[in-house]
Amino acid sequence: MAEGSDSSSMGFLGRHYKEVKEHWKSNFAFLDYYKKTFGRTEPLPKWTDADVEEFIASDPFYGPQLNAIRESRKYAIFGALLGAAHLGGVSLRYSKSPHGFVLATGFGALCGGVLGLEVAEHWKQLYKIDKQAANLRFLYWWEDKTLGNQRN
């Protein structure tokens, strides 16, 4: 085994180790997303809803996906309100403690929000799209727009 790795710079073990590293790099590829947001020396300028709308109009493929993702926000808010009201009402019915009401309402908002996002995911078929890729495309577009302006 030692002779094998000595005979060539990339012996059997070396090649295997390289394959393993690439495998895990592809597994953790979702972390590259954060290089675009946190891994910068200076942050990108903050975008507004109008900029996002502009991107949605401009990109034929990722635009509708990003639009669907943004629509799911309304589902989350509606679900959070519903869940908070329901669980807060239940806690008020059975107990008079104010901290219990606060905790129950908070937890109800969390559960309702998650449920709303799940409903949106299946109603708009968001499970079919790569949400991270859609977000990343917008970031690429925004980066080209702002840094391109700075360059020019």
Distances (CA, A) of 140 to 117, 137, 150: 25, 5, 15
Q: In the complex, what is the shortest distance from the CB of residue 138 to other proteins, in angstroms, rounded to a whole number? A: 5
Residue 69 as a binder of other proteins (CB under 8 A): the answer is yes
Q: What minimum distance in Å lies between the beta carbon of 1 and other proteins?
A: 39
Non-local (6+) Cβ contacts of 64 within 8 A are 56
Question: How far apart, in whole angstroms, are the C-alpha atoms of residue 86 and residue 90?
Answer: 6
Longest dimension (CA), the chain: 78
CB atoms within 10 A of CB 36: 15
Select 19 or 130, whichever has its Cβ closest to other proteins: 130
Please identify, among the stretches 4-12, 21-29, 110-118, 143-151, the one whose residues bind other proteins according to the rule CB under 8 A.
Answer: 110-118
Q: Which residues lie near other proteins (CB under 8 A)?
A: 47, 52, 66, 69-70, 72-73, 76, 110, 113-114, 117, 120, 126, 131-132, 135, 138-139
